[in-house]
Amino acid sequence: MSRIGKNPVAIPEGVEVRLQGDQLFAKGKVGEHSMVLHDDVAVAVEDGQVLVSPRGNSKMARNMWGTTRSLVDSLVTGVSQGFTYVLEISGVGYRAAVQGKNLQLQLGYSHDVLYPIPEGISIKCERPTHIAITGANRQQVGQVAAEIRAFRPPEPYKGKGIKYENEYILRKEGKKK
């Protein structure tokens, strides 16, 4: 029995959730989002809660029970509060700036890296070494953060590069004389 799946998802104030066929729609102050539900899972919206239950006792139905509940929770949280990933840049001369619909990164390459900001994502640079990525879709925000980090991942000797805010970089010792 799924310990995650049997917990109902509470719908916060200001969020409207409706079920239409095999799609679940959520609308909140951050935006509007939807997801397609799996055939092996039954979803019901009752009394300000979203209830998820398996349609059978097959392995796939039990697997999708907890997964669907987590996806519904992310959907409701995304349209009510949104998700934020924070990236930090460390290194001499490394900096970032938002210019229109592009993120301009200076990462020690011969040319600046221009990253087009996707729809539904907002990027802010309060400081030149601080990037805040915000959006309603958790998967999309995480994907954008991973793509930006991949331009210059942190290296283990000096820690130069782009890292997540709470990421710990395992440092290595340099050459010995």
89 shares a domain with 66: no
- Give me the phi and psi of 56, to 5 degrees please: -150, -165
Q: Is residue 20 part of a domain?
A: yes
Same domain, 60 and 99: no
For residues 65 and 94, membership in a common domain is answered with no
Q: How far is the C-alpha of 156 from the C-alpha of 159, rounded, in Å?
A: 5
Q: State which of 80, 106, 136 marks the end of a domain.
A: 80
pLDDT digits (tens, 9 = 90+) for 20-56: 888 889 998 888 888 898 888 888 888 888 888 888 8
Does residue 99 sit in the same domain as residue 159?
A: yes
Same domain, 76 and 93: no
**55 and 112 in a common domain:** no
Do 112 and 70 belong together in one domain? no
Number of folded domains that form the chain: 2
Based on the fold, state whether residues 135 and 118 are members of the same structural domain.
Answer: yes
Domain with 136 in it: what CATH number? 3.90.930.12
Question: Are 132 and 110 within one domain?
Answer: yes
142 and 103 share a domain?
yes
pLDDT at 2 over 70: no
Tell me the per-residue pLDDT of 154-170, one tens digit each, with 9 for 90 and over: 999 988 999 999 989 88
How much is the pLDDT for 88?
Answer: 93
**pLDDT tens readout for residues 54-83:** 888 888 888 888 889 899 899 889 999 889
Identify the pLDDT of residue 130.
94
pTM of the entire predicted model: 0.85
Could you count the other beta carbons within 10 Å of the beta carbon of residue 13? 8
Could you tell me if residue 100 is inside a domain?
Answer: yes
Let me know whether 61 and 128 are in one domain: no
Does any domain span residue 169? no
In which domain, by residue range, is 65 found?
9-80
Which one of 80, 100, 125 terminates a domain? 80
- In this structure, the answer to whether residues 87 and 160 fall within a common structural domain is yes
